[in-house]
Amino acid sequence: MYPSIHPSIHLSTLTSISSSPVIIYVHLAVQQLQTLCFLANFPLAKMAAQEVQPSETIAKLKSESEALKTKLEEERAKLHDVELHQVAEKVDPLGQFVMKTRRTLKGHGNKVLCMDWCKDKRRIVSSSQDGKVIVWDAFTTNKEHAVTMPCTWVMACAYAPSGCAVACGGLDNKCSVYPLSLDKNENLAAKKKSVAMHTNYLSACSFTNSDMQILTSSGDGTCALWDVESGQLLQSFHGHAADVLCLDLAPSETGNTFVSGGCDKKANVWDMRSGQCIQSFETHESDINSVRYYPSGDAFASGSDDATCRLYDLRADREVAIYSKESIIFGASSVDFSLSGRLLFGGYNDYTINVWDVLKGTRVSILFGHENRVSTLRVSPDGTAFCSGSWDHTLRVRE
C-alpha cells in the first residue's frame, strides 16, 4: 500500500559522503512544482521527482556569463553610454565616517516596522507588530503619546506636516489619522479618523504638503490619494502587478508626482492629478522594499530584496547606479539620502546599515548595532541625524 522507496536511499544518491561534495542545482519550473504539490501527498513522491540530473558544469556557466558581460560592456562603450560613477571619477573621495548611536529608543514590545520624523526635527512616530504606535521626542527619548491599534503589524505610519496628527495602518487594510491631544486623560483612539480603505494590507502612507491629504500604498496592488476630512478617495493609481510596498512624494517645484515600488520588481512614477503612470523602471531582481527621491527630485533610489540599492535618473529615464557588494547577501529594507544627496543610507535584513557614496557607488561604512532586521530608516528633516527602526524592538538615532 505504501511506496517502498525509502528517503534514506535518496539521501545517498544526492550526497556522496565519502567522495567530494557534489553541488546540485535544483531548478524547478513553476509548472513542475505545482504538479508536484498536486500529485504528492507523500514527501517521497516529491523527493523522487527531485532526483534531477546535475546540470552543466559550473565552469562552463561561469565562462558563458563572463563572455556576455564583456560583450555588453563593449556595446555600451561604443555608444558613449556612461554610468554615474564614471562621471564622478574626479570627485574627491570621502574620508572615514564615524557615526555613533546617539539615542536608543526602547519601549516597543515587539518588532518596529515603520517610523517617520516630525518637521520639528526631533520628534518621531513609530509603529510596531503588536499594534502600538508611539510618538517620541527622540532628543529627550521621552514618549509623548501612545496609541494601540486594533490590528497587528502596523506597517505604515506618518507624521502630519503640522505636527498635530499621525497616520498609521497595516493588516487592518486601512489608514487612520489620530489627532495628537496633549490631554493626558484623553484617549487618542477616541478622535481617530478612518481615512483610507484598501482591500489588502496597508504598506506605506504619507501626508502630502498638508494635513488634509494622504497618499497610501497597499498589498492590493494599488496606491491611492485620500481627502482626510471626508475620507473621500481623490485618485487611485493602478499599474503594479503585485503588492505595492513603498512610496515617496517628489520634492519637485510642481509637486505633482510620486514614486512607488512593489513586489513586481517595478518602480513606477505617477502623476497625482491624472492617476497615470508616467514612468516605469524594472531592473531589480526582486521585491522593491523602499523608494526615496534624491533631494533635487531629479532621481530616486530604491532598496530591494535582491540585496542591491539602485539610483534611477528621471530625465534619462533609466538606472544610473547600482549600490551592491558581493558580501551583501540580504535584502535592503529601507533607504534614505543625506541632505546633500552624497550619502545613501540603507537598512538591511542582516541587521546592518550600509552607507554608500552615491556618486562613486562605493560603500563608505557599515554600521552594526541592531540585533534583528532593520525595517525602517529615515534621515531627519534638517539632515542632522538619521533614525533606524528594527525587529529588535528598538529605534536608534545616529549621526
Amino acid sitting at position 231: G
Cell numbers placing 155: 506597517
In degrees, to the nearest 5, what angle opens at C-alpha 33 toward C-alphas 28 and 35? 135
Please give the residues from 327 up to 366 whose contact with other proteins meets the rule CB under 8 A: 327, 329-331, 338-343, 349-352, 358-359, 366
Name the residue nearer to other proteins (CB basis): 67 or 317: 317
Can residue 79 be called a binding residue for other proteins (CB under 8 A)?
yes
Can residue 15 be called a binding residue for other proteins (CB under 8 A)?
yes
We find the least distance from the C-beta atom of residue 142 to other proteins, in angstroms, to be: 7
φ, ψ of residue 77 to 5 degrees: the values are -60, -35
Please choose, out of 63-71, 189-197, 298-306, the segment that lies near other proteins by the rule CB under 8 A: 298-306
Can residue 298 be called a binding residue for other proteins (CB under 8 A)?
yes
**C-beta pairs of 36-42 under 8 Å, 24+ apart in sequence:** 42/3
Instruction: Check if the beta carbon of residue 379 is closer than 8 Å to that of residue 371.
Output: no
Q: What is the rounded distance in angstroms from the CA atom of residue 374 to the CA atom of residue 254?
A: 33
State the first-to-last Cα distance of the chain, in angstroms, to the nearest integer.
67
We find the least distance from the C-beta atom of residue 348 to other proteins, in angstroms, to be: 11
Name the residue nearer to other proteins (CB basis): 25 or 148: 25
Please give the residues from 301 up to 320 whose contact with other proteins meets the rule CB under 8 A: 305-307, 313, 315-318, 320
Over its C-alpha atoms, the chain yields an Rg (Å, rounded) of 24
Q: How far is CA 240 from CA 103, 164, 195, 243, 334, in A?
A: 38, 33, 22, 7, 20
Please give the residues from 268 up to 287 whose contact with other proteins meets the rule CB under 8 A: 273, 282-283, 285-287
Please give the residues from 59 up to 78 whose contact with other proteins meets the rule CB under 8 A: none
We find the least distance from the C-beta atom of residue 67 to other proteins, in angstroms, to be: 19
User: Can you say whether residue 295 is alpha, beta or left, with left for phi > 0 and alpha for psi between -120 and 50 degrees?
Assistant: alpha
We find the least distance from the C-beta atom of residue 281 to other proteins, in angstroms, to be: 9
Can residue 184 be called a binding residue for other proteins (CB under 8 A)?
no
Strands 332-337 and 101-105: unpaired
Tell me the per-residue interface mask from 199 to 218 with other proteins, x by CB under 8 A, - otherwise.
--x------xxxxxx-----
Q: Which of 45, 48, 197, 234 binds other proteins (CB under 8 A)?
A: 234
Please give the residues from 132 up to 151 whose contact with other proteins meets the rule CB under 8 A: 137, 139-140, 142, 144
